[in-house]
Structure 1
Amino acid sequence: MLTFEQKLAVFESFPELERRNVSLGRVNFHYENSLYDKKTVAYHLHPNGNGFVYAGLMDEYKTDAKGLVNIRDFSEDELRKLVEASIRSLSQRAPEEAAAPKKRKPAKEQRWHNNDGQTLLLKYEDELWYIYIGLNLEAAFETFEEAEEYLREEGFTPTA
């Protein structure tokens, strides 16, 4: 099993990936040139060695419901191949998707809730998407898709 530092070194060797530190010492890596709403290639790399890579657009990997592959026990070669394949999959559109219509514009203010009864406010201001818990700022994102991905990963759904 690779150490956390060795896994970070593999991801950092891909100049097209952008490192983003998240909570509890975890790290995500984003591919900003993705042709899809999905931009996260590496999700929650943890100092304990656990972590995930997005493979939801590929058939050759067994993924969970979110399209993620657990990389805890991957060798360096296996991890490098998976990361390359993930980036490649996010760089190419299937022919039928290229002709699909674009999604409608999201509302500039939305409420999101989870199963614990918590409610968050997603609001577009000053060219950024902000997530608020009451009056407190939780996070800020450059795109709606990034904010939506974060909220869904945290277990929230839009309020109808």
Structure 2
Amino acid sequence: MLTFEEKLAIIESFPELERVNVSLGRVNFQFNESVYEKKNVVYHLHPNGNGFVYAGRLQGYQTDEKGMVNIRDYSAEELKKVIGESIQSLSAEEKPVEEAAIVGDNQEERWVNKDNQVLLLINEDDFWNIYFGLNLEESFATYEEAEVFLVEEGFRRG
């Protein structure tokens, strides 16, 4: 197991992360350029070596209900990998070709549920349409109606 100091050195090697000291000697590291509400990449790194990294948008990690993976027993390579992937998952990314074709020049919002499923809400020709991939799922006359539907279905703005 890496020590607190070794983990700090690895985490601080990512210039895009900003250190935030919290209570009881714990430290958070935030990615302020995140395109999502989530900004904490490293959460509650404790002097005893325990801590968490956000992996809620990643595949292949055992996460808790907040999308965090425990890094207590991570090697240096594993820690670097999960932090890099976490930052990338929160970064602005190119839209897939299918998504770009649907959205075009229209106003859009991404909505995500707890399983990281993504729906697109797009304003097209005076309607608010909800897409899952290339499929039109629902259509509403007002933004408010679409928003109520999305919230009731367990989605939130991503």
TM-score category, normalised to shorter length = 0.5 to 0.7
Q: How far off its partner does 1:99 sit?
A: 2.6
2:118 equivalent in structure 1: none
2:24 equivalent in structure 1: 24
Describe the superposition over 1:1-37 as per-residue Cα deviations: whole angstroms up to 9, x where unpaired.
0000000001100000000000000000000000001
Q: How far off its partner does 1:101 sit?
A: 6.7
Counterpart check, 1:56 vs 2:65: no
In the TM superposition, structure 1's runs of 4+ consecutive aligned residues that sit over 6 Å from their partners are none
Q: Distance in 2 between matches of 1:80 and 1:17?
A: 13
Q: Distance in 2 between matches of 1:61 and 1:83?
A: 12
The equivalences for 1:100-111 within 5 A come to 100=109
1:124 equivalent in structure 2: none
The amino acid across from 1:16 in the alignment is E
Q: Distance in 1 between matches of 2:89 and 2:110?
A: 20
The equivalences for 1:9-158 within 5 A come to 9-92=9-92, 99-100=108-109
The amino acid across from 2:109 in the alignment is A
Structure 1 vs Structure 2: percent identity of aligned residues?
Answer: 64
Partner of 1:99, secondary structure, is strand
Q: 1:64 to 1:99 in 2, by over 3 A?
A: same
Aligned length: 102
Q: TM-score, normalised by structure 1?
A: 0.59
Q: 1:31 to 1:66 in 2, by over 3 A?
A: same
The amino acid across from 2:4 in the alignment is F
Q: TM-score, normalised by structure 2?
A: 0.60
Partner of 2:109, secondary structure, is coil
Describe the superposition over 1:47-91 as per-residue Cα deviations: whole angstroms up to 9, x where unpaired.
001000000011221100000000000000000000000000000
The amino acid across from 1:100 in the alignment is E
Q: Distance in 1 between matches of 2:76 and 2:86?
A: 15
Q: Distance in 1 between matches of 2:92 and 2:64?
A: 22
Q: Distance in 2 between matches of 1:19 and 1:101?
A: 28
Q: How far off its partner does 1:92 sit?
A: 3.6
RMSD: 2.1
The amino acid across from 1:57 in the alignment is R
Q: 1:57 to 1:47 in 2, by over 3 A?
A: same
